[in-house]
């Protein structure tokens, strides 16, 4: 299955369970473009600082989005992995840390959960 196909499957699964899918176009091969793609997909506020600390802060807040589960689907992350392996690993680490920090919802009506899916083939 292609990366786009995997991304569509992940989005359909998110919709089916009532989650909000956010597709990140991973065709980018540098840090700035990748951060911009994540910011666009997740509708980050204008004050997003375009660095890894700011990425973590945004992903563990999500207060501008509706309550519920938000699924960040990073399609084609392999482009960044090939071009800038250290940057790729740093972003993956931030995504993983944010997912752990904003794990399964506590049941509160206004809680938000982050799930990260890598769609690569």
**CATH number, domain containing residue 33:** 3.30.370.10
Average pLDDT over residues 97-121: 82
Per-residue pLDDT at 66:
95
| Pair 25, 3: CB distance under 8 Å | no
Mean pLDDT of 71-88: 93
Q: Is 24 helix (H, G, I), strand (E, B) or coil?
A: strand
β-partners of residue 118 are: 74
| Residue 109 pLDDT class (50, 70, 90 cuts) | low
Identify which of 35, 119, 30, 40 has the alpha carbon closest to the alpha carbon of residue 79: 30
Domain hosting 55: range is: 3-119
pLDDT of residue 34: 95
How far apart CA 17 and CA 13 sit, in angstroms, is 6
Tokens for 114? 């982050």
User: In angstroms, rounded to a whole number, what is the distance separating the alpha carbons of residues 28 and 31?
Assistant: 8
Strand partners, 20: 70
pTM over 0.75: yes
- Structural domain total, the chain: 1
Q: Is the pLDDT of residue 3 over 60?
A: yes
């Amino acid at each position: 299955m292609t990366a786009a196909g995997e991304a569509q499957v992940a989005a359909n699964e998110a919709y089916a369970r009532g989650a909000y899918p956010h597709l990140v176009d991973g065709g980018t091969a540098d840090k700035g473009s990748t951060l911009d793609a994540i910011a666009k997909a997740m509708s980050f506020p204008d004050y997003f600082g375009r660095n890894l600390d700011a990425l973590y802060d945004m992903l563990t807040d999500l207060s501008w989005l509706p309550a519920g589960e938000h699924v960040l689907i990073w399609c084609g992350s392999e482009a960044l992995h090939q071009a800038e392996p250290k940057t790729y690993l740093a972003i993956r680490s931030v995504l993983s840390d944010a997912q752990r920090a904003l794990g399964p919802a506590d049941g509160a009506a206004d809680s938000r959960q982050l799930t990260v899916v890598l769609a690569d083939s």
